[in-house]
Amino acid sequence: MDIPKEFLSKEFLSQFKTDEDVTAFMKELHTRVYEQMLEGEMDNHLGYEKHSNQGDHSGNSRNGSYKKQIQTEMGESVIQVPRDREGEFEPVVVPKHQSRGLSIERLVISLYAKGMSVSDIESEMQEIYGINLSTSAISIITNKVSQASSEWQNRPLESLYMIVWMGVLTDLKARGVEDILITVTDNLNGFTETIKSVFPASTTQICVVHQIRNSCRYVVWKEKKEFTSDLKNIYNAPTKEAAKMELDNFEQKWGAKYPYAIRSWRNNWEELTVFFDFPVEIRKIIYTTNLIENLNGKIRKYTKNKLSFPNDDALKKSVYLAITEIEKKWYQPIWNWALIFNQFITIFENRIQV
């Protein structure tokens, strides 16, 4: 990055008498650069520059700033961070809840993790931050993630997992998993057999939500609301026996019109109703694969901006970075987890060692 000529003029340099003067100036400059980068991010977030009339009646606008103490390469500094009225501004150069500013390398990786392509990052760095980085330089920086991605993908795992959504089971076992208490699958062909061959003691629950979707696939639109409402009586029943009675009632009402739906429930009944064997708190976790589907949806949110990937490594790198971004928001524990954990210990006392 070129240093402005005025910074090297005799007149400018004459103000520095000691090493402390230079250090103080560099620290102040560092602070001002961060603040200008944050202002640039806010301009980009709102879509208009500060004091511009384009912000009138835009639905969101600047709302002053707040002081934040950060640690940088130059030491501790206090900067002014802009904020918007809607509270939607998520700064990249100095992220929320973090006290350390991003280095250029970390900034590039952060932008790449959020789904931006190499060429987009090049433009972003220039337009918002005034930093010139070639696509090749950005590629070199992001390629450093590949090793971390590989290490993460092959990291040792815990010896026991209480609940697993269907994955590459043989790989999990090779990486140290010895037991899975409950697996939840979407009932694709061969899932149950594969699970039993690798983890024979695992209990298998078929996702009820997938079953409902499959049951409703060919139901005419005007009857779908009533049809799904009647299905709720089955999986919301208090016990497996009560659920069986509700299925019989369901068949009496809909069996003649939609026999395939009844047949599917009866063929998969034992694995669809495993969750009834557990307390209500555990049932809510294991009757559906929606949690893992939610994660997959968030990964797609980060990767969809890239229409194609040059190779498998580029895709793995992007997915790994997406997951690291998603993990930052995994601070809310499962509701009633202490109670649920104790229920697991009671039910599987011979297989869980605390």
Q: Which of 10-24, 122-136, 210-224, 291-305 has the highest mean pLDDT?
A: 210-224
pLDDT at 250: 96
Residue 305, pLDDT above cutoff 70: no
Residues 212, 217: Cα–Cα separation, whole Å: 9
Q: What's the pLDDT tens digit per position in 77-94?
A: 888 999 888 888 888 777
The owner of tokens 């005799």 is 10
Whole-number average pLDDT of the chain: 82
Which has the closest alpha carbon to 265: 240, 245, 247, 249?
247
Report the percent of the chain where pLDDT is more than 90: 20
Please report which helix (H) or strand (E) contains residue 181, including its range.
Answer: strand 179-185
pLDDT band per the 50, 70, 90 thresholds, residue 251: very high
Residues 130, 43: Cα–Cα separation, whole Å: 13
Please report which helix (H) or strand (E) contains residue 66, including its range.
Answer: strand 62-72
Residue 142, pLDDT above cutoff 90: no
Residue 126, pLDDT above cutoff 60: yes
